[in-house]
Copies of this chain bind each other. A is one copy, B any other.
Amino acid sequence: MNYSFAPQTKTYQSSAVRDILKVTQQGHVISFAGGLPAEDIFPLEQVKIAYEKVFASGNSSLQYGLTEGFKPLRDAIQTKMEPKGISSNPDNILITTGSQQVIDLFARIMLSEGDVVLTEDPTYLSALQVFRSYGAHVVAVKSDDHGMEPEDLKAKMEILRPKFVYIIPTFSNPDGKVWNNERRQNLLNLCYEYNVLVLEDDPYGDIQFHQDEEYHPVAAFDTYQSHVLYTSTFSKSVVPALRTGWVTGPIEVIRMMAQAKQMNDLHSSSIDQQALYYLLRDFNLTSHINLLRSEYYYRMTIMRDYLSKLGSDLFTWKEPKGGMFMWVEGCEQLNTTNLLSKAVDNGVAFVPGAPFYVDRPKNNTFRLNFSHSTPDMIKLGMDRLVEVLLPATTQV
């Protein structure tokens, strides 16, 4: 049978990252591809204890819950956001199946055919796919190391009247960038001026390597919670399998997203939400996050030292100040999409940079994840990677 899918499915494509994940899960490939956290330091015992507490609370723990999410967890999330300068309240918080669902639900309630979304370039490829699946026209704003450039941003707001701006301002995916405070404030000022919303995606904000530096989410500048939707997740700081994220922002927007979520899946797993509540209550998450920070920093330095040896004439990259990724640009002749199959044959995987670009992809870029592999595996994987990288740059 010839299935007549809706026209918007023409924009669908299986994410390159997921496809590679599928391949690398099966073999002996060391994968720097996915955005997976370190499995070896998951707080398994603490997670187990948290679930025991859920079941000890009785049969009602297994019943249907509210679309908005488990109230005590929303209370805990409010408290968790306070040190970041975000003042919220449980009614302004919606619990979701990871922050991916936030991106999708927000796009769903905001976008229709032909609407404009402004983004960084490169940016999270799955967000690009979501926006396009709702018919949006994604437009990249010129950026430097400190964030979006004010002139270009203002011009594009003025001319294109976007529905919203999507950003990952702190340890960005894929390029690890951190916006400075001036650029954050500037974005918000322009949003006030042109009445445009911001979707601030902050999955990596907790994983900060240098504690003497202070980063404030754009949401912290939005004193009256009127223009910023802030989303984060426990997938990176606790465990991904829980699939628990959240969004906070203007009550009208949160309510509309809750209605969309009701149609989408009624509510996310309430067993997981309750377990997370007990985990936040009884487990020292701060000390666990500190462990992640120092371990991920260490793993990054191993990868960095390999890249340093490659020579800055062939490869350029910046040392990330947090997060999970290194972003590398090779010499112009390098095509990392073509290189990937050779790398996988040699037992190592990365993500080519092209799909992270809005348009005009730089085919000589790639992303490396340093959080998932153990230090020994990073060394082995980088040995393998260098074996295919160097010939690729010198042959051409």
A-to-B contact residues, CB < 8 Å: 1-9, 12-15, 18, 21-22, 34, 36-37, 39-40, 42, 44, 47-48, 51-52, 55, 58-67, 96-98, 100-101, 104, 108-112, 115, 126, 129-130, 133-134, 163, 195, 197, 226-227, 235, 239-243, 250, 252-253, 256, 259-260, 262-272
Do B163 and A263 touch across chains, with their CB atoms under 8 A apart?
Answer: no
Do A241 and B63 touch across chains, with their CB atoms under 8 A apart?
Answer: yes
Do B36 and A64 touch across chains, with their CB atoms under 8 A apart?
Answer: yes
Q: In the bound complex, how far is the Cα of B262 from the Cα of A100, in angstroms?
A: 9
Do B15 and A262 touch across chains, with their CB atoms under 8 A apart?
Answer: yes
CB < 8 Å: which of B3, B55, B241 contacts A64?
B241
List of B residues within 8 angstroms of A260 by Cβ = 9, 12, 133
CB < 8 Å: which of B44, B259, B265 contacts A12?
B259
Q: In the bound complex, how far is the Cα of B262 from the Cα of A171, in angstroms?
A: 23
Which among A3, A40, A47, A64 has the highest number of chain B CB atoms within 10 Å?
A: A64
List of B residues within 8 angstroms of A270 by Cβ = 241, 243
List of B residues within 8 angstroms of A14 by Cβ = 259, 262
Q: In the bound complex, how far is the Cα of B239 from the Cα of A137, in angstroms?
A: 42
Do A265 and B100 touch across chains, with their CB atoms under 8 A apart?
Answer: yes
Q: In the bound complex, how far is the Cα of B60 from the Cα of A40, in angstroms?
A: 8
Which among A163, A240, A266, A267 has the highest number of chain B CB atoms within 10 Å?
A: A266
Do A268 and B6 touch across chains, with their CB atoms under 8 A apart?
Answer: no
List of B residues within 8 angstroms of A5 by Cβ = 109-110, 256
Q: Which residue of B lies closest to A226 (CB)?
A: B1
Do B39 and A60 touch across chains, with their CB atoms under 8 A apart?
Answer: yes
Do A256 and B9 touch across chains, with their CB atoms under 8 A apart?
Answer: yes
Q: Which residue of B lies closest to A127 (CB)?
A: B263
Which among A21, A48, A239, A264 has the highest number of chain B CB atoms within 10 Å?
A: A264
CB < 8 Å: which of B12, B104, B250 contacts A1?
B250
Nearest-CB distance from A294 to chain B (Å)? 19
Given contacts A14-B259, A241-B269, 10 further A-B contacts (CB under 8 A): A1-B227, A1-B250, A4-B163, A6-B112, A18-B262, A21-B64, A22-B66, A100-B265, A126-B263, A269-B269
